[in-house]
Structure 1
């Protein structure tokens, strides 16, 4: 894994030693000896991670992290603080300020690299989500404190229930999050209920490390829990075990739970990060949905419908199966807008869309592809069934009383439908999207010419 890491340390020897370790792991490294230089360097070229060591001449570590988080471009950059052993006050202050991890000297290279890899994976995932959301997305974790700080769901997983209960009791004194206990020897998904926990705290040690790894693998593989964060709490862990758990997908790890306050802070930070990621993921999904859904009717739009039909035409397993394509157009719709107003016209379109969609199968596709024009695709549909469907839809719209937004007398509209019935085995030449649509359009024009309020079939349908 490559990335640009900024080392910030007042002691040149510390910077050199750490740079050697990082460059040997194929990271690009830049350096700064004080907070001011680090902020200038990071602002000019935002790094993928910042590692800050001994107290700086112009800021303590917590103060420096505060300055980083106050800058929009650096608000979500992972920060690792390297502190002296036993500096519990410094660890707490760094985590409160927004450090992603706190590591004590002496540094175990294997563990440090695993922590760096884990944080970079999370950071790059976050960056990918931010790139796929709208420009006004959140800047990072700095403003998440006020926007996303809500009570989270934390599940403690342990083979020894007594240990889990003891940890829950200690955490409940300094954490406002909802805490539950899950047994490690039972399926995870069977114990989580309707909503997956935000964080799973997996308690493990050298004696049952296989159980911890199995639980992590199960959580990451399940669609219900794959987005949950994982905090591994490991007693008497060897560096290899810590590195393995991080590389398997743990978001954070603690090897000493004597300081419950630090564990609570780490869990708070993970809750906030997950809420930020969940928010971005929802924004991205909403954006994808908006890109293929017509906002007025709730039907699919042309951007979705044409690729859907193209895929149906080209799918090898569909080549011998008949399907139908309909282009439906409301008759004299301009009169509706001119006489009743555009609000009533919109109400007509919405209700017609609802009626059409409600009388199709789940496998069928309907889209609004123009002002009052709809495209309907019926996969794997014999000709007789398609003809019956088209006739039924035409009659359905003709007989419907369309309610108007002002509560006045309901109006009535009719629809014309052009249909192409396709069976590739009987088609005279290779099918194409343009050919199928052109045939359906030709049939629609014929329906309009015949006086509207009717169904007409293309020449291809007679083949």
Structure 2
């Protein structure tokens, strides 16, 4: 996996040794000798990951990490602290300062590279989500990482139930999260209701290497827990297993005995990440939905409607059936805006949209495609059923009274509808042209309905070719 890594360390020998190891693994490695130099270099470099050495003279870990997180363009960049010696106190201090992970001297190259690959996978996935969710997501994600959003849910998953229960009891003394315990081989969706845990803690004692890999693969393949974080606890002699688990998608792997303070920090960090990513994912989904929904009426818009129509036209096989395309336009709508005002016009549009949406079948599609123009697509429909539905829509809209603010009497509007019948099976380059022709026929039928006095339905006599 390629990626731009920035090493920040005042000792040149440390930087050179680490650069050799990372360059051999095909990373694009850059160096800075101070915190200020790192911040200056990062502007143009835009690193995918930052490794902080202990020998910095101008900034502490916490100061440099805070400076990085404060930059919107760097807010989601993972930061790894490289510790000169492997002690629980040093690991806790670095994690408490905001590091995403720690690597201790002497460096185990397999573990280091596996950790870096995992962090880079996460970073690249977040970059893609941020790109689609909006330009200010990075700042929001960085702020979310700064503090715990809410108490999370942790499930301890053990080969032996007694071990899982014991760890649950210990964690409850230092964590305010909801913690449950279960034995591997049962349900992996957790015990906290329908939703899976934010974090699964896998206890993998010595002798269970194969079972651990199988369980890890099972968790990552499960739809219920695909967004959960996974932290694996393995014995000191299982470093090859640790590297394999990281490459399989473990969020973190802790090797050997670890103090409760460090474990609590690591789990809290994973919950923060999980909840921040969930927030970003929700924003992305909301943005995609907003791109396909008309904000005034709540109906679909043209961006959704046309691909929907193309999908119907492209279907083949025994389940593919004819479909109806209707273009509906409110009659004399400009007079409503001119006489009653645009606020009243918006109220009329919303009322008509409600009638249209409530008058068609489940599976039919209604969209607002213009100012007062609507598109109704009815899959698996023949001409007779399309005519009945269009007549029903005309009648219901014409009979409905719309109460407007400041007016005693209800307003009434009518609608004209043009209908064209489509057949499935259009393919390749002809698909777009077929849909355009079908839409044009429905539009022409609408004009004929207008010419016949409005408040009526006209069906195109020509099949789309």
TM range (shorter): over 0.9
- Alignment gaps of 5+ in structure 2: none
Q: State the shift of 1:34 in Å.
A: 2.8
Q: Distance in 1 between matches of 2:392 and 2:313?
A: 25
Q: Distance in 1 between matches of 2:88 and 2:62?
A: 13
Q: Distance in 1 between matches of 2:380 and 2:194?
A: 36
Matches within 5 A, 1:318-333: 321-333=321-333
Q: Distance in 1 between matches of 2:424 and 2:133?
A: 41
Say if 2:451 is the partner of 1:446: no
- Alignment gaps of 5+ in structure 1: none
Q: Distance in 2 between matches of 1:196 and 1:330?
A: 48
Q: Distance in 1 between matches of 2:136 and 2:36?
A: 29
Q: 1:220 to 1:424 in 2, by over 3 A?
A: closer
Q: 1:277 to 1:234 in 2, by over 3 A?
A: same
Q: Which residue of 1 aligns with 2:350?
A: 350
Q: Which residue of 2 aligns with 1:36?
A: 36
Matches within 5 A, 1:233-272: 233-272=233-272
Q: Distance in 2 between matches of 1:364 and 1:327?
A: 14
Q: State the shift of 1:141 in Å.
A: 5.3
Q: Distance in 1 between matches of 2:35 and 2:423?
A: 71
Q: Distance in 2 between matches of 1:305 and 1:168?
A: 51
Say if 2:107 is the partner of 1:115: no
2:437 equivalent among 435, 438, 450: 435
CA deviation string 1:307-330 (max 9, x = no partner)? 221232233448962111100111
DSSP 3-state at the match of 1:202: strand
Q: Is the Cα–Cα contact under 8 Å of residues 76 and 138 in structure 2 kept in the other structure?
A: no
Q: Is the Cα–Cα contact under 8 Å of residues 73 and 138 in structure 2 kept in the other structure?
A: no
Scaled by the length of structure 2, what TM-score is found?
A: 0.92
Q: Please, which moves more after superposition, 285-294 or 214-223?
A: 214-223
Q: How many residues align?
A: 461
User: Which stretches of structure 1, 4 residues or more, deviate above 6 A after TM superposition?
Assistant: none
CA deviation string 1:361-394 (max 9, x = no partner)? 2221111011111111112212222222112222
DSSP 3-state at the match of 1:107: coil
Q: Distance in 1 between matches of 2:70 and 2:79?
A: 13
Matches within 5 A, 1:134-213: 134-139=134-139, 142-145=142-145, 149-189=149-189, 191-213=191-213
DSSP 3-state at the match of 1:72: coil
Q: Is the Cα–Cα contact under 8 Å of residues 144 and 272 in structure 1 kept in the other structure?
A: yes
DSSP 3-state at the match of 1:325: strand
Matches within 5 A, 1:35-434: 35-139=35-139, 142-145=142-145, 149-189=149-189, 191-317=191-317, 321-406=321-406, 408-423=408-423, 432-434=434-436
Q: Is the Cα–Cα contact under 8 Å of residues 65 and 94 in structure 1 kept in the other structure?
A: no
Alignment root-mean-square deviation, CA: 2.5
Q: State the shift of 1:100 in Å.
A: 0.8
CA deviation string 1:206-252 (max 9, x = no partner)? 32233333333233223322111111122234221001110111111
Scaled by the length of structure 1, what TM-score is found?
A: 0.92
CA deviation string 1:284-327 (max 9, x = no partner)? 11111111110011111111112221232233448962111100
Q: 1:318 to 1:284 in 2, by over 3 A?
A: farther
